Amino acid sequence: MPRLWDGGFPERPGVLGLRSGAGDRRGLRALAVRLRALLACALLLGSACGERAPAAAPSVLPQTRIRVGNVDAQVEVAATPAVRKRGLMFREVLAADHGMLFIFPDERLRVFWMRNTRIPLSIAYADSGGRIVQIADMEPLSEGSVPSGVPARYALEMNRGWFARHGVRVGDTIRRIPAIEVE
């Protein structure tokens, strides 16, 4: 069995230890084996370095307890453009009664989508006073738009069906919204 290149230089004449004559077919086969092994190593290294979806790391975002209608929920607060853009993307699970509260600097029409979001979610949009103005269910990985329909300053994402299970409806209020600086 031919051995792979050991890092040294060949002592035989010719490139990579091959003679230039057509009769040295064993040398050509050895070269082909070496090149295949080198290509396989390069492919393995390349696939190991490929871009992957980030793993769902424990959250380092600010968290708080809010009251939605008559129900408490633990939420991560998304108050910067970068955090709002990422949202709950790439997460595999969202604990019961946990969600993400998106806080925007102003009240205007909002549009969300579920790109790279694997968890089925429901969203509630709320105005500057915290009054819920729209509730919608969202499909995992969908790039379809989910508009607020009316101006909103807040968006609250929870596991799909959470609002219905807890009797939360349009007109109910989100309370205990943290007073934090929003970008």
pLDDT in tens, 148-157: 999 999 999 9
- Per-residue pLDDT of 47-106, as tens digits, reads 555 544 444 445 589 999 999 999 999 999 999 999 999 999 999 999 999 999 999 999
* Beta bridge mates, 98: 74
Position 183 scores a pLDDT of: 85
- pLDDT of 37 over the 80 cut: no
Position 34 scores a pLDDT of: 75
Higher pLDDT, 13 or 65: 65
Higher pLDDT, 71 or 12: 71
- Token pair of 47 as six digits: 């696939």
Mean pLDDT (the chain, rounded): 84
- pLDDT of 33 over the 80 cut: no
46 confidence band (pLDDT: 50, 70, 90) = low
- Fold (CATH) for 63-175: Jelly Rolls (2.60.120)
Cβ–Cβ under 8 Å, residues 166 and 131 = no
Position 109 scores a pLDDT of: 99
- pLDDT of 15 over the 70 cut: no
Which candidate, 70, 93, 86, places its Cα nearest to that of 163? Answer: 70
Position 75 scores a pLDDT of: 98
Place of tokens 């939420």: 75
Position 48 scores a pLDDT of: 53
Regarding beta strands 152-159 and 98-108, do their DSSP bridges make them parallel or antiparallel, or are they unpaired?
antiparallel
- pLDDT of 1 over the 60 cut: no
What pTM was estimated for this model as a whole? Answer: 0.69
Position 154 scores a pLDDT of: 98
Q: What does the domain layout of the chain look like in residue ranges?
A: 1-51, 63-175
Cβ–Cβ under 8 Å, residues 75 and 98 = yes
29 confidence band (pLDDT: 50, 70, 90) = confident
